[in-house]
Chain A
């Protein structure tokens, strides 16, 4: 968290101690929105990963596992090479490697995509603690990444000068900005480029794409690998961007939430981004509501408050899954007659 704001926030909170006043304070909103942006970043990366895979027709519930592997490898890379950039690259590489298992299983061997994805999640869930024991001698978490080698935040010139918006949008680590850039680039790529058109065609009607000379299976494999790259970034954000080290099961369901965001966003990059912001917001709110009395309700037990992002996920899933926006050939391996 940005130091200046958090000080302001804490000073205010301890001085007043009254929840109702909190909601009217600008500093509180700056901190809430700034943290929304941060917390939605891993979701955005992973959801874009989901977009690449699913738009090409491969269901990817392995986002969770890929993220976890990415987070672990990024932490290891950061510590081993003493560089956060190397950490991010390690995260990407590792997640891509594991994603290639999913790609080969689903595309080459026509396995059931849900089963393959689930297997990868379970595999990742076990692999990360095992490697942490082997590499760090710990039970599932990495040593702390000290601030000298930790990823630094960026202050955006000019932007940081704007009141309120500057405080919300500036002072983030580069990955936050990268995620936003990726959203718009993906949108442009999907809508306006030839490859983007092929990508959608392969997921909607592989036979048609094949009949026009598009290599369906090759395209799908590359798409799933892309999904791995993005999950690697998401994982890296969690362990070495936002956090300062890997912790056991640190993704805590964010992969599934990202998948939900993508479904809520109708398999389109920009709506997906807004869905990620919504989930990021609920997460940020949840953190701030712990121990804060709500006007009229008083203090809500933190266990219930922590449920918030998951409850929103379930409501969204119940309301939006099964709508006809999904790629038509999603989940169906392409087998030439």
Chain B
């Protein structure tokens, strides 16, 4: 028999304008458990917790704490019911000290001034209990992200929270910091706290939680014991269908060489050798994966191949025509082959917010970027709005972008949908040469699958593809050949069929394979 739930949500709904973010959510959290909430971005798991924390008010539904119905109208109310929240984006004030941040809003006072002694003794008893070491007088901005998160947790404990909500706590942590966090969470559970962990990473759920509730599209799908679940089951519940792992990798007959890079070097303004004599070729219908720890020259390689930077020396050719030192505009608009059904060049940049799209523009206008030389979008010198709208609608439909509203600003789409739009714009013309960097960073699993399938589709239509990714699994699933980049040098070339994670990992960190 389960104990009585400490928190019970009954039929909670939340509407933001037209969007139903939460649809009649029923949820029970048991005392002294670590309860995971899992779902894709925008599934409604954060929203429902923000309602519990009083940040939002539910459009309808009821909240029961310890069996009694409560109205939670503000974070203040939530705090008084013993609920604390560690937000995904830290709610810390960078120029203030750790001490000030912890007591903010709950300062013990003496004659109008803060009673430093009382506050400090309370904090140090918490620090002792959970064996956390932190300098109270340090300012937040000097602390590492991991330490900042600990401050957030102390902040919540200082408010005597019994129920801790953590929203995507590991998103910004290194794997080591995440391990440390899980230890703290287990300790908290031991000492009688209840923890709600919001995440979209299945590994974390399986590692640390007791029970898990899956959300999809604003609805609660199912609560289950973590011990009775596994990655496949969770993934299927999250996406609502089986995730296909089948990829079409047909052999491309008679491939010609498209991209030919020879002795490409780049030295930056400080004179550092960022790229050192890279040579590689990519054929039609081939995906060349470039693996490596971030910051080993990938960004510079991407910028040079797309004409945003000029290499110090070396040559780059597409179908024997040199493009090194040419502008991005030239590379995009030049005719490299006689094939009329292929656009010359497609580029999915690593940082879609900074380079992939203009967030303040509508989706429709974003589709125009990089296609300004194409006559079909213009009538004399004016933009042909009708054609553009048609084009946008067509692409959004084809690439399954939701909501399918071409006039909505780009920033209002989720990460996955934004990325699909960038992909649609860049790859729909089956480019001769496609340069794709970090295609699935910050994208949920349903969209990842879709994006991978699209990349394989243009492979089939004979595009030469360079895929730069920090995600080794992605490189291994998609590539035909893998180059490993370390400190600007190619330290290894592997046939993807014979590649082995361990061997690649060793090459990436610069150890000889």
Q: Which residues of A contact B (CB under 8 A)?
A: 188, 192-194, 197-198, 200-201, 204-205, 207-214, 328, 336
Contact = CB atoms under 8 A, between A and B. Distances in A.
Interface stretch (B100-108, B342-350, B381-389, B441-449): B100-108
A211 B89 CA distance: 12
Contacts of A207: 89, 91
Interface stretch (B7-15, B109-117, B218-226, B364-372): B109-117
Nearest to A210: B75
Contacts of A204: 93-96
A214 B75 CA distance: 9
Contact of A198 (B92, B105, B112): B105
B55 interface: yes
Contact of B109 (A188, A194, A205, A210): A194
B95 to A, nearest CB: 6
A211 B87 contact: yes
Contacts of B104: 197-198, 201, 208-209, 212, 214
B495 interface: no
B92 A208 contact: yes
Interface residues of B, number: 26
B163 interface: no
Contacts of B4: none
B114 A211 contact: no
Contact of A212 (B75, B89, B90, B114): B75
Contacts, number: 68
A209 B92 contact: no
B105 A193 contact: no
B258 interface: no
A205 B96 CA distance: 11
A200 B114 contact: no
Given A193-B109, A197-B100, A198-B105, A211 B91 contact: yes
Interface string B302-319: 000000000000000000
Nearest to A211: B91
B143 to A, nearest CB: 15
16 contacts: A188-B113, A193-B112, A197-B100, A204-B93, A207-B89, A207-B91, A208-B90, A208-B91, A209-B93, A211-B75, A212-B91, A212-B105, A213-B79, A214-B105, A328-B95, A336-B55
A188 B76 CA distance: 27
A211 B75 CA distance: 6
Contacts of A212: 75, 79, 91, 104-106
A1 B100 CA distance: 46
B74 interface: yes
Interface string B349-382: 0000000000000000000000000000000000
Closest 4 CB pairs of A and B: A213-B76, A212-B105, A208-B91, A194-B107
Nearest to B107: A194
Nearest to B16: A337
Given A197-B104, A201-B104, 12 more contacts: A193-B113, A193-B114, A194-B112, A197-B103, A198-B105, A200-B96, A201-B96, A205-B94, A211-B55, A211-B85, A212-B91, A336-B55
Most buried by A among B85, B100, B113: B113
Contacts of B74: 213
A328 B96 CA distance: 12
A209 B55 CA distance: 12
B105 A205 contact: no
B99 to A, nearest CB: 10
B107 A205 contact: no
A44 B306 CA distance: 56
A166 B173 CA distance: 61
Nearest to B50: A337
Nearest to B87: A211
B197 to A, nearest CB: 18
Contacts of B105: 198, 201, 209, 212-214
A204 to B, nearest CB: 5
Contacts of A211: 53, 55, 75, 85, 87, 91
A82 B105 CA distance: 46
A200 B100 CA distance: 10
Contacts of A193: 109, 112-114
A305 B389 CA distance: 64
A205 B91 contact: yes
A287 B486 CA distance: 68
A323 B91 CA distance: 23
B104 to A, nearest CB: 5
A336 B56 CA distance: 9
Interface in B52-99: 53, 55, 74-76, 79, 85, 87, 89-96
A200 B94 CA distance: 11
A192 B95 contact: no
A189 to B, nearest CB: 8
Contacts of A210: 75
